[in-house]
């Protein structure tokens, strides 16, 4: 009897998988921190005989090469992927035995679109397809975005996505489970996926790649693409070159004087505590990226690549989890770290900085005539409606456009509060008077704020 275990990377919106039989298994698109995969194999009592990549990833650093080294597994990578390390190149139709005693095999299916070399893998039990690992090809209700490789290839790859999705739908039984890597909040997805599980049969009735003609599909797909996180530029080359083994040992500890010196040198000091605690008191000049938010995505997107970062955490456990999140996106070693509270991070006699938080009802009560309302949502979010007179700078652009924020007290909002807290910390660090709106945007309507749409 086959099994599939899911290893969820919620903050990146991705999933990796361990699948196999009684004695052996294959790891699909493993994360950088491979101890999770090793632990899953240990719980099952199986050895990892194969590690496979559906494609060279643009959104996270793979753990595939390291996992194969540790386990001695064969490392299968699509033949068209331009890599510099030793691997087993996989072409369309190639099949490998994962667990011969259980009749578990894996067959490669060329599904170009997300990348030119993208490959899906069908898991067979006793010759019958039971699962297809679709990576960034056929997702739940959508497909992977086709614009991450080369702008001149985007339309060609979008058309390839349509054809690849239809090949999977025609070649596999309706009951085959569809297990994508992307699509659970990942920016590698071309649209927001709906639902947590699916089958080929369900996708035939719900996925636009399978319900509309290619020209309509391509037009809608290209029109709906979001901005690409800046750090994606660095992920593909890191994966093609073979990532270095990760180092999760604790970083050097910094005292209050070192923290101040790093701030004075223009380095980033990132406070990982929740946004309520940060607003109430923090080291002046530090930025707030909540450890429980999409830390890896937004910090890696916004920080100038390669700039030293010092992490401030409320506990050693929070620091360790943040390190794990950051190595997944190529921020390998914090320059320094500290745990505790602002009292321990500030020189003696220096008081913490703070700023107020409010809601959309609070903005209505205050009145918007004498304030700047800053909307840091993405373009696609703002299209659905915005507060009249608000200034719009998406959060991932704000650090480079702070001088565009008009003078005055800034009430900053997003769709839920997390990104507004990041933005408020960036503005506060420059000495601006700021109020963080910690509220869902739907509440703006309830607060009777004047809204408009394009």
Q: What is the pLDDT of residue 237?
A: 96
What digits encode the pLDDT tens for the residues 11-21? Answer: 899 999 999 99
Q: What is the full DSSP assignment across 379-442?
A: HHHHTT-EETT-EE--HHHHTT-GGGSPSSEEEEE-SSSHHHHHHHHHHHHTT--EEEE-S-TH
The pTM of this model reads 0.94
Which residue, among 188, 142, 182, has the nearest Cα to 162 in the 3D structure? 142
Q: What is the pLDDT of residue 184?
A: 87
Q: Is 287 helix (H, G, I), strand (E, B) or coil?
A: strand
DSSP class of residue 384 equals: T
Distance CA 244, CA 35 (A): 15
Instruction: Report which secondary-structure segment, H or E, holds 235.
Output: helix 232-241
Distance CA 4, CA 26 (A): 10
Q: Return the structure tokens found at 14.
A: 């991705």
Cβ neighbours of 196 (radius 10 Å): 10
What digits encode the pLDDT tens for the residues 221-242? Answer: 999 998 999 999 999 999 999 9
When computed from its CA atoms, the radius of gyration of the chain, rounded to whole angstroms, is 24
Which residue, among 24, 17, 11, has the nearest Cα to 197 in the 3D structure? 17
Model confidence band, residue 453 (pLDDT cutoffs 50, 70, 90): confident
Q: Is 353 helix (H, G, I), strand (E, B) or coil?
A: strand
- The answer to whether residues 405 and 327 touch, using CB atoms and an 8 Å cutoff, is no
Q: Is 256 helix (H, G, I), strand (E, B) or coil?
A: helix
Q: Return the structure tokens found at 408.
A: 């005055």
Distance CA 333, CA 326 (A): 9
Q: Does 193 have pLDDT greater than 90?
A: no
What digits encode the pLDDT tens for the residues 28-69? Answer: 999 999 999 999 999 999 999 999 999 999 999 999 999 999
Helix, strand, coil shares of the chain as percentages rounded to 5? 35, 25, 40
Q: Is 88 helix (H, G, I), strand (E, B) or coil?
A: strand
What digits encode the pLDDT tens for the residues 375-385? Answer: 999 999 999 99
Q: Is 378 helix (H, G, I), strand (E, B) or coil?
A: coil
Cβ neighbours of 100 (radius 10 Å): 12
- The answer to whether residues 438 and 417 touch, using CB atoms and an 8 Å cutoff, is yes
Which residue, among 431, 411, 426, has the nearest Cα to 303 in the 3D structure? 426
**pLDDT averaged over the chain?**
96
Phi then psi dihedrals of residue 174, to 5 deg: -60, -30
Distance CA 280, CA 11 (A): 25
Mean pLDDT, residues 293-317 = 96
Which residue, among 110, 114, 122, 96, has the nearest Cα to 167 in the 3D structure? 110
Distance CA 276, CA 270 (A): 15
33-42, 177-186, 433-442: least confidently modelled range: 177-186
Which residue, among 179, 212, 193, 181, has the nearest Cα to 142 in the 3D structure? 193
Residue ranges of alpha helices (H) inside 139-231 are 154-171, 200-206, 208-211, 214-223
Q: Does 316 have pLDDT greater than 70?
A: yes
The phi-psi region of residue 251 (left if phi > 0; otherwise alpha if psi is between -120 and 50; otherwise beta) is: beta
Which residue, among 299, 260, 291, has the nearest Cα to 274 in the 3D structure? 291
Model confidence band, residue 196 (pLDDT cutoffs 50, 70, 90): confident
> How long a stretch of residues is the chain?
454
Mean pLDDT, residues 277-285 = 98
């Amino acid at each position: 009897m086959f099994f599939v275990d899911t290893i969820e990377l919620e903050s990146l919106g991705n999933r990796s998988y361990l699948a196999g039989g009684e004695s052996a298994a294959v790891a699909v698109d493993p994360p950088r921190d491979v101890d999770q995969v090793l632990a899953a194999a240990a719980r099952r009592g199986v050895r990892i005989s194969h590690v496979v990549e559906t494609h060279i990833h643009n959104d996270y650093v793979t753990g595939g090469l390291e996992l194969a080294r540790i386990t001695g597994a064969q490392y299968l990578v699509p033949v068209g992927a331009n890599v510099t390390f030793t691997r087993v190149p996989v072409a369309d139709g190639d099949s490998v035995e994962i667990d011969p005693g259980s009749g578990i095999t894996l067959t490669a299916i060329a599904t170009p679109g997300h990348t030119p070399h993208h490959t899906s893998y069908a898991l067979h039990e006793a010759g019958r397809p039971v699962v297809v690992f679709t990576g960034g090809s056929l997702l739940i209700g959508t497909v992977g975005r086709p614009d991450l490789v080369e702008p001149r290839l985007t339309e060609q790859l979008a058309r390839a996505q349509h054809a690849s999705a239809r090949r999977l739908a025609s070649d596999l039984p309706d009951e085959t489970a569809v297990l994508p890597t992307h699509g659970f909040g990942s920016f590698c997805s071309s649209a927001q996926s709906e639902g947590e599980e699916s089958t080929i049969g369900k996708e035939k009735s719900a996925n636009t790649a399978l319900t509309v003609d290619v020209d309509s599909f391509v037009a809608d797909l290209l029109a709906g693409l979001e901005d690409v996180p800046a750090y994606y530029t660095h992920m593909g080359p890191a994966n093609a070159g073979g990532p270095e083994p990760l180092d999760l040992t604790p970083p050097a500890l910094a005292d209050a004087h070192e923290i101040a010196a790093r701030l004075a040198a223009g380095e980033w000091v990132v406070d990982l505590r929740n946004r309520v605690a940060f607003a109430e008191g923090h080291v002046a000049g530090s930025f707030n990226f909540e450890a429980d938010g999409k830390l890896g995505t937004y910090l890696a997107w916004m920080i100038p690549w390669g700039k030293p970062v010092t992490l401030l955490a409320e506990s050693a456990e929070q620091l360790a989890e943040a390190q794990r999140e950051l190595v997944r996106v190529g921020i390998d070693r914090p320059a320094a770290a500290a745990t505790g509270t602002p009292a321990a991070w500030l020189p003696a006699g220096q008081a913490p900085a703070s700023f107020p938080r409010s809601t959309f009802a609070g903005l209505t009560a205050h009145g918007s005539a004498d304030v700047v309302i800053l909307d840091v949502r993405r373009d696609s979010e703002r299209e659905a409606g915005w507060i009249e007179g608000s200034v719009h700078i998406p959060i991932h652009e704000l650090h480079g456009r702070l001088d565009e924020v008009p003078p005055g007290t800034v009430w900053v909002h997003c769709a839920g509060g997390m990104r507004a807290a990041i933005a408020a910390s960036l503005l506060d660090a420059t000495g601006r008077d700021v109020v963080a709106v910690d509220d869902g945007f739907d509440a703006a309507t309830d607060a009777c704020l004047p809204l408009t749409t394009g």
